Amino acid sequence: MQNQAFTDDFRTQFDLLMRLRRDVRRFRTDAIDEAVLTRCLDAFRLAPSVGLSEPWRVIRVKSEVARGAALKNFQAANEQALAGYSGETAQLYSQLKLSGMQEAPVQLAVFCDEASDKGQGLGAGTMPEMRRYSVVSAITLFWLALRAEGLGLGWVSILNPDQLARDLNVSADWKLVGYFCIGWPENLSDTPELELAGWEQREDTLPIEVR
């Protein structure tokens, strides 16, 4: 394989893909073709991982019991988060849609296996958190693969990770990295929903310090 740059057209399309990646909270309930989902999940196998440890562990949350427990977890954590705000900020927070758990047809919980001996500890001795960074890298590739298929992903971080691990009955060595809602977006935008809602603004430039 030759070491050369991709075409201008490819780079333009890739830039568009990243701009439209967006965290999705509003989904249609249409089912996802299993072949398409499998094709996207294959992106995990292409991801970099420290020491080639491949520490990601994926749980498909499919049963009514498991989904109900995850939703209850989110609702409790969301109420607690709301209590931490006051005034206009609390009012704005209460109006935000922060998960698509009641609509998204596919939901995944992705963990990092902190005790995996795969990779023989290479690169994780001084920075064990590199295992979790590896999982995040894999999730990012999966996210882009979904968007390329027209699908969207919503990352739910407002929940109790220890409770979710107990509810899903996973190994004590597995640490939650993210809970994900996946489905067909109601609409597309290159602007983050939190920015549209007035919660925060994206930086126009990347600050870089020099030492």
What tens digit of pLDDT does each residue of 201-211 get? 999 999 999 99
pLDDT in tens, 43-82: 999 999 999 999 999 999 999 999 999 999 999 999 999 9
Give residue-wise pLDDT tens across range 135-194. 999 999 999 999 999 999 999 999 999 999 999 999 999 999 999 999 999 998 999 999
The model's pLDDT over 95-129, given as tens digits with 9 standing for 90+, comes to 999 999 999 999 999 999 999 999 999 999 999 99
> 147-150 contacts: CB < 8 A, separation 24 or more?
147/17, 147/20, 147/21, 148/17, 149/36, 149/39, 149/40, 150/184
Rounded (10°) angle between helices 130-148 and 34-41 = 140
Please, are residues 121 and 67 in contact by the beta-carbon 8 Å criterion?
no
Give the Cα-Cα-Cα angle 186, 187, 190 (nearest 5 degrees).
145
